[in-house]
Structure 1
Amino acid sequence: EPTLNQATGELSRPEIDFFLGKNYLVSVHHHASAAIEKNKNRCQSQLYFHQSWKYKKGAKSKSAVVDNIMFRNSDFILHSILDMIVDNYFPLADHIDQHIDELEERILSGNSSRSDLNQIILIRRQLAAFRRTTSPQRDVIGRLIHSGNPAISPTSQIYFRDIYDHLIRVNEAIESHRDMIGGIFDAYYSILSNQLNENSLRVNAVMQRLTIITTIFMPLSFIAGVYGMNFENMPELKWQYGYLFSIMLMIFVTLTMYLFFRIKKWF
């Protein structure tokens, strides 16, 4: 009987065991079960109604007897409990489906964050726990239907088939959700990889421009370093156009390297 913890998002799976005989039904469980409590209260209220003076005097009719669960066999009580448990699976499956849809819309719209990966992992854990609960139940109910168990009357087999059909639908929904969350997981990593690639390309472009600028300034630094040595036998130092010549040389080297990089489409 799985229940969803709204605070943590984890799916708890308290176990319930049943021992069924022709005239008895024994349940063993360590946690309270809403389905068992409802059926217990139903049996107690109908037993009180059966024993009341009103029932004995005027309300005893064929319809009242048929509707009273106390006039059924123990297999019908088991069906009633299991039916309530299985019916609660559909709201849980719908809740997970809604969560998946919201997560898918957020990721595909480009508004994903790192917390979305945690949500994907959480939903995968929920579906795995849900599947580990419903699959064995489907198999057990199937054996009860097809094994000819004497504790299950032919009339009740029809009702157990209804539970079996519901479990098949729940399992199909779980498998569909597993496929969806797998696709969302792949889409998340694809989008994340694209973002990393785009960031890498931008970094590479910036590094390329910085490298080109550094390369352009290398010969300029060389020229400035040569004429900054101040040796006595450097004629350009005493030439009246020496300063203008060095500046024009630097501009020429800069333009030449810039045009070279533009032709190579590196800049």
Structure 2
Amino acid sequence: MDPVIADCGVYENGRRVSGRISLDRAAEAAHSTSGFVWVGLQDPTAEDIAVVADAFGLPPLAVQDAVHAHQRPKLNVYDDVVFMVLKPVRYVDHEEVVDVSEIALFLGRNFVVTVRHGRSDVLGRVRAELDRGGSELVSHGPKAVLYRTADMVVDGYEEAITSITEDIDEIESQVFGTDEDDHAERIYKLKREVAEFRRAVLPLAAPLQRLADGLIPGIDSAAAPYFRDVHDHALRASDAIEGHDRLLSDVLQADLARVGVRQSKIAVRQNEDMRRISAWAAIALAPTAIAGIYGMNFEFMPLLTSRYGYFVILAVIGGVCWILYRLFRRSDWL
């Protein structure tokens, strides 16, 4: 279990008891301490989390959800255990990818068990904040861990939204500027990442609303204003994501329209070039045809023995070419 347990400690009287304890001692301390025990797991298997579930009496259905990642954000209450799933988000700017991880929290009267899947430093920052002491939040017990975790997750949403906004502004400048490249692939990729982002944020509003309304056992009314603030930030993040999604759709349509216009212009130019080439080819065909006839070396041909026959033929060739040229000019082919 050691590689799976990120940390395991006891918090009493507003600060952490010095040192890290074993899982067995943590289960005993949860029944005897006036504070709470926090056990943090990272990418556990079903066998790993089963040991913790037996030690703390975690509900089997919630344990299944915690083992199998890719859950929607949600909040469930099982007797005296509160189970919540959060989806931290990290925007990788140089790749324009939204990296979504997952955190499951089990909150009992005197314990917190967290399960992390993927890359996220949220729980590490929350633990570091509580370990430093001096914060009145520690005295509120497990709900302090839930509040700070939810707060940092939502703050991460706002940071990711800021970075995505900058990329969207850049794409807009390129699409509506002088850049002639096709940006559809980049826009579609970013739109897909925003959709993944939306799936992590939108379902979180309802659980946070329940926490803000004080409808969850073990979360007293004193904690409601804290969760109400987190809920407001989550709603703003949801609105911003919806706006980004609509904006990307509009920019994608504009980019496709510009590509269509450019292709139409190219087709028109190509058509004009083909008409011009065809016109000159038709003009060149006249002297070629006449010269070809007189190059067949027959003995009896018009003007073949005439003194001025050569000049007459040249005049005929020039006249035909001039007539064709005037006709093509009148038709705007030249």
TM-score category (smaller protein): 0.7 to 0.9
Q: Secondary structure at the match of 1:244?
A: helix
More strand by share: 2
Does structure 1 residue 220 correspond to structure 2 residue 287? Answer: yes
Cross-structure match for 2:138: 70
Distance 1:263 1:30 in 2: 74
CA shift, 1:32, in A, is 6.0
Q: Secondary structure at the match of 1:17?
A: strand
- The change in CA–CA distance for 1:100 and 1:32 in structure 2 (over 3 A counts) is closer
CA shift, 1:223, in A, is 1.6
- The change in CA–CA distance for 1:14 and 1:223 in structure 2 (over 3 A counts) is same
Larger displacement relative to structure 2 (216-225 or 238-247):
216-225
- The change in CA–CA distance for 1:245 and 1:95 in structure 2 (over 3 A counts) is same
Residue by residue, what CA displacement relative to the aligned partner does 1:58-93 show, whole Å, maximum 9, x if unpaired?
Answer: xxxxxxxxx522321422331122112211211210
TM-score (ref. length: structure 2): 0.69
Residue by residue, what CA displacement relative to the aligned partner does 1:11-57 show, whole Å, maximum 9, x if unpaired?
Answer: 221110112234433211134643322332333332xx7xxxxxxxx
Larger displacement relative to structure 2 (91-100 or 228-237):
228-237
Cross-structure match for 1:45: 132
- The change in CA–CA distance for 1:230 and 1:118 in structure 2 (over 3 A counts) is same
CA shift, 1:173, in A, is 0.5
* RMSD of equivalent CA atoms: 2.0
| Contact 2:90 2:100 (C-alpha < 8 Å) held by counterparts | yes
Cross-structure match for 1:156: 223
| Contact 2:111 2:142 (C-alpha < 8 Å) held by counterparts | yes
Identity %: 28
Distance 1:164 1:84 in 2: 12
Unaligned runs of 5+ in 1: 50-66
Does structure 1 residue 107 correspond to structure 2 residue 175? Answer: yes
Unaligned runs of 5+ in 2: 1-87
Does structure 1 residue 252 correspond to structure 2 residue 319? Answer: yes
CA shift, 1:142, in A, is 2.3
Among 255, 264, 268, the alignment partner of 1:188 is 255
Cross-structure match for 1:90: 158
Cross-structure match for 1:123: 190
Among 239, 242, 245, the alignment partner of 2:309 is 242
Does structure 1 residue 12 correspond to structure 2 residue 99? Answer: yes
Count, aligned residues: 247
Structure 2 counterpart of 1:191, one-letter code: R
Distance 1:235 1:112 in 2: 60
Distance 1:77 1:223 in 2: 97
